[in-house]
Amino acid sequence: MSIKIDKKLKTPIYRQIAQQITIKILSGEMSQGTTLPSERALASMLSIHRNTVVKAYHELIAEELIEARQGLGYVVSQPAPKESEKHNQASGKNRPKKVTWATNIKPEYLDMEITFDDLFQRFGDEKIYSLGSGISPVGMYDEDKVAADIAEMITAQGKNQYFYSPYKGDSFLRKKIVSFLSTKGIKASSGQIQILTETNQALDFLVMLLVKPGDTVIMEEPVSPDAYRAMELAGAIIKTVPVDDDGLDCDILENLVARCSPRFIYVNSSFHDPTGSILSLDRRKRIIEISNRYRVPVIEDDAASELVYEGSRLQPIKAFDTEENVIYIYSFSLTFLPGLSLAFVTGNKDLIRSLSYLVSVRMVGTDWLSQKLAAKYLDDGTYYGILEEFRNNYSRKQKIVCDVLDTLRHEGVRYTRPRGGVYIWCKLPEGFDSKEFIAKAYSRGVALLPGYIFYPFRNGGRDHIRINYSYETEERLQVGMNLFRQVVREELAHKK
C-alpha cells in the first residue's frame, strides 16, 4: 500500500493517512476484505510513531470504512459505494457521527500494548499464583484487633473528620512519622511531611511540581515502569545509569550530571526494584557529594528499607543530607494492611509547602481511615512490633523461591540472592525470551513480570524476569514456584 505524507503540511499526519486510505477504499482500489498493514508495519514504512497510525485507523473505523478483526488485524469493511451514494457520503447526510476517541486522547496516553498495570493486576485472580504483585499479604495483622480499632474510630465521639483528612495529611500521623523517621536517622518536622496514598502518587506530584517538557532526569536502569512513565508523561528526557550489586554506578552518574544538568536524580536505594540490590554506604555518601557539588536534587524511593533479613540496616541517603537536597519518599505498601495504601514525602519546607499546595488543588482531602489506623499503630507500637513478623514472613518466602531457583542452576537459571526486600531478578536460560516465557507461565497459572518492561528504552531485560514473593501465602508460593520450574524444564525440552 502506497501512502505519502508531508510533514510540512498543517494537516495532521494521521489525517493525511486516513484521507489517502479513504480515497483508495471509495475508489475501489482497496476492496472489501483487504487487510491493511499492521500498526507497527505502517509506522515503520512511513518512519512515524505507531500511535499516529493508531489514530488514523481509528478515524477510519469511526467512518465505518475498516474494522479490527481478531487474528487478522485491520480489514476493509465495506465495498466502494455506488455513484448515488457518494454524494450522500461526501455531504455527510443522514449519517450520525461518532466521536473518534483515539484522535482526541493525547498520544502519550494512547498505548495499545499490554502494559505493566495489566500484568500487575493479574494477582486478583485466585486461580493464578501471583509472583509479580508488590503488595503485602493478608493475615499479618490480627483481624479482630483491626476490626475493633476501625469500629472504635468510626463510632468515637468528638471532632473526627469522617472520611476526609486535611490535604497535607492527618496532623497526629505526621507527628508519629517524625518519630518513625528518627529511627532512620532522618530529622524532620511535622510541617515537612506530606501524606499521600502511594509512591506512584507521590512521584507523580513531584514530577508535576519540578519537571517541564525537555528537562533531563537521571534514573537507574533497570527501573520500575511506574517511575519512568511518570517522567515520560511529563515530557522529560530520561538518562539512565546501570545498576550493579552495590546500586547505581556513581562514576557514570557524576559524568551524566556534569554533562546534562538534570532536574533531579531518582534513586531506589534499598532492595531496588527489580534487581533487589542495595545501594552501598559509600555510594549513598557519594550521591550526597554529587548532589551538593552540582546543586542537583535527589528523589530517594525507600519503600523496602525495613525489610532486612541479613546484616545491618543502612541509613537512607536522606540521613546524610545536611543541605536539604534530598526528597525522601516512603511507602507502607509492603508492611501495612493490603488495600489500605499510604505513603509520605519529606524534604525542604519550601518544597513541601509547594507540594501541599499542589495536592490541595488536585484533591479535596486524603484518605481518612488509612491515616487514622496507621497513626494509631505507630503510636501504640503495633507497627514496630509487626515489622519483625513481616521480615520473618518475607525471609521464609524468599527461601522458598531461592530453593527452587537453585534446582535450576544446571539448566542455566541465574540470580543473586538479596539480603532483604521482596524481589528476585532472575536470568532465564540461554535462548529464552521473557515475554514469551511469561505468556507460557501464565497459561499454566503463574503470573510473572518480564524483564524488558524495566528498561525505558526496551534495550535490555529480554532474558530476565522479576519474581515478587510478597503477596502469596507460603503454600501458594511453593505451588507457584513448582509450576515455574515445570515451565522452565518444558521449554528447555522443547528447544532441544
To which H or E segment does residue 288 belong? Answer: helix 281-294
Concatenate the DSSP letters of all residues of 470-494 into one string. Answer: SSS-HHHHHHHHHHHHHHHHHHHHH
**173 grid coordinates:** 500521623
Q: What is the mean pLDDT of residues 430-439?
A: 93
Q: What is the mean pLDDT of residues 335-342?
A: 87
Residues 403-424 pLDDT 10s:
999 999 999 999 999 999 999 9
User: pTM of the prediction?
Assistant: 0.81
Question: Residue 116 pLDDT more than 60?
Answer: no
Residue 240 and residue 446: Cα distance in Å, rounded? 31
DSSP letter assigned to residue 411 = G
Q: Among 112, 135, 119, 139, which Cα is nearest to 58's?
A: 112
Name the pLDDT band for 91 (thresholds 50, 70, 90): low
pLDDT at 160: 54
Name the pLDDT band for 112 (thresholds 50, 70, 90): very low
Whether residue 10 contacts residue 16, with contact meaning beta carbons closer than 8 Å, is answered with: no
Buried (b) or exposed (e) across 353-372, using 16+ Cβ within 10 A? eebbebbeeeeebbbbebbb
3-state percent breakdown (helix, strand, coil) of the chain, nearest 5: 45, 15, 40
Residues 260-270 pLDDT 10s:
999 999 999 99
Whether residue 463 contacts residue 451, with contact meaning beta carbons closer than 8 Å, is answered with: yes
Question: Residue 92 pLDDT more than 60?
Answer: no
Name the pLDDT band for 358 (thresholds 50, 70, 90): very high
CA angle 251, 252, 253 (to 5 degrees): 90
Question: Residue 108 pLDDT more than 80?
Answer: no
CATH number, domain 143-380: 3.40.640.10
Name the pLDDT band for 132 (thresholds 50, 70, 90): confident
The domain ranges of the chain are: 13-109, 116-134+387-495, 143-380
Name the pLDDT band for 205 (thresholds 50, 70, 90): very high
Half-sphere exposure at residue 325, Cβ-oriented, CA atoms within 13 angstroms: 22
The CATH topology of domain 116-134+387-495 is Aspartate Aminotransferase, domain 1 (3.90.1150)
Residue 226 and residue 201: Cα distance in Å, rounded? 10
Question: Residue 311 pLDDT more than 80?
Answer: yes
More confident residue, 151 or 85: 151
Please check whether the domain covering 13-109 is classified as CATH 1.10.10.10: yes
